[in-house]
Amino acid sequence: MKYLLLIQSNPANWATLTQSEQDGMMTEYRALTQEMVESGEHLDGGPLTDPQTTRTVRVRDGRAEVTDGPFAESKEYLAGYYLVDVESEERAVELAKRIPDARFNAVEVRAVMDMGGLES
């Protein structure tokens, strides 16, 4: 089963961390990523740029409107993601618990829809 682990973060919180705290978190991230790569569970992932760099696209009546800034105003933003292929939802949750940002904000675990199904 494939799951997207959505890492929510508050840029203001991140700014309050000391350099060594930030370095510590990055080390944790690298170790976790490395572990998931080695177990054959990691498909993709990475940090996203600051929300202020967002460009939002809307198409209305065939015309595209592009604005600077995120779609919804919020304190928390999607700061990064992992796409994993794991044995069960429990395993996806287990990995999410170990994402450093889960301690400060939250990580959402969402299953990716599958094109297969069973007739009943």
Partner 1 sequence: MSALVEGLLRELAPQALTAVLRYGADFGAAEDAVQEALLAAAVQWPGEGVPDNPRGWLVRVASRKYLDWRRREAARLCKEAESVEWSRPVEVDHCDELTLLFLCCHPALSRPARVALTLRAVGGLTTEEIARAFLVPERTMAQRITRAKRQVATGGLRFTPPPPHEFAQRMDTVLEVLYLVFNEGYAASSGVEVHRAALTGEAIRLARQLHRMVPDNAEAAGLLALMLLVDARSAARSDGGRLVPLREQDRSKWDAGRIAEGIALVESALRDGVVGPYQVQAAIAALHDEAPTAEDTDWLQIVGLYEVLERLSPGPVVRLNRAVAVAMADGPHAGLALLAGLDDDPRLARHHRLAAVRAHLVELTGDHARAVELYRAAARATASVPERDYLLGRADRLTRG
Interacting residues toward partner 1 by CB under 8 A: 1-2, 37-43, 85-87, 111-120
- Compare residues 12 and 115 and give the one whose CB is closer to partner 1: 115
Compute the least distance from the CB of residue 86 to partner 1, in Å: 8
DSSP type of residue 92: H
- Compare residues 17 and 112 and give the one whose CB is closer to partner 1: 112
Compute the least distance from the CB of residue 8 to partner 1, in Å: 21
Q: Exposure string (b/e) for 14-38, b if CB count within 10 Å is 16 or more?
A: beeeeeeeeeebeeebeebeeebee
- Compare residues 68 and 87 and give the one whose CB is closer to partner 1: 87
Give bridge partners of residue 42 from the DSSP assignment. 84
Neighbours of 77 (CB within 10 A): 18
Compute the least distance from the CB of residue 2 to partner 1, in Å: 8
